[in-house]
Amino acid sequence: MNDPRLQSPAAAHNRRPILDVLRTVLPRDARVLEIASGSGEHAVSFAGVMPGWSWQPSDPNPRARRSIEAWREHAGLANLHPPLAVDVTSLCPAGPHDAIVAINLLHISPWEVTEALLRCAGRRLTTGGVLFLYGPFTREGRHTAPSNAAFDADLRHRDPRFGLRDLGTVTEEAARCGIVLERVVEMPANNLSVVFRRP
């Protein structure tokens, strides 16, 4: 029988650094909504290490949801919930959410997805809640590394709606949605962890 659990080399490499940042900004009993959970490896890893976190994965892709559910069943974690079918441009789960997490989403989706995610965070996060974004960004309109520039060009060649987002532009849009930039952490492979908070 084929194993529906998908595996991502990137998830294997970045989950520990991401977890280290999340542990500094989230309480031990946080209610977390993850948008675009992909394979589900981050969800099962984080929920396994932090049993006080109530982790709600989601993804619009049925194959991804099958993978998430397979990882969840394999791990047997009570704090990892069945995946939701969420396209953030049309659905923002009501929560309440102490945190909304999106890992490697913004650059592989149209700008409208970023706008919808920020609106969702502004409406659904609890007071003091965190929006955590991870991935490559430009800063002041410039790439932070040649590899990021090449990656951006490849993404835009595949789909003109995709590409690295500028951190300043995202921060301005977040402010319009009522959430403010709190912290930017440089991560391996020229990625950033970006922490916004709802005052």
Query: What pLDDT, in 10s, does the model give residues 86-143?
Result: 999 999 999 889 999 999 999 999 999 999 999 999 999 999 999 999 999 999 999 9
Dist. CA 24–CA 5, nearest whole Å: 29
What pLDDT score does 95 carry? 84
Buried b (16+ CB within 10 A) or exposed e, 146-185: eebeebbeebeeeeeebbbbebeebbebbeebebebeeeb
Global confidence as pTM: 0.96
45 neighbors 15 (Cβ within 8 angstroms): yes
Tens-digit pLDDT profile for residues 61-86: 999 999 999 999 999 999 999 999 99
* Mean pLDDT of the chain, nearest integer: 96
Tens-digit pLDDT profile for residues 5-61: 999 888 889 999 999 999 999 999 999 999 999 999 999 999 999 999 999 999 999
Q: Which neighbouring-strand residues pair with 134?
A: 103, 193
CATH superfamily of 9-197: Vaccinia Virus protein VP39 (3.40.50.150)
Going from the C-alpha of 119 to that of each of 91, 109, 131, the distances in angstroms are 11, 16, 11
Q: Which residues contact residue 126 at a Cβ distance below 8 angstroms, ignoring those fewer than 6 apart?
A: 95, 96, 97, 98, 198
Please determine, for residue 1, whether its predicted confidence score (pLDDT) is greater than 90. no
33 neighbors 100 (Cβ within 8 angstroms): yes
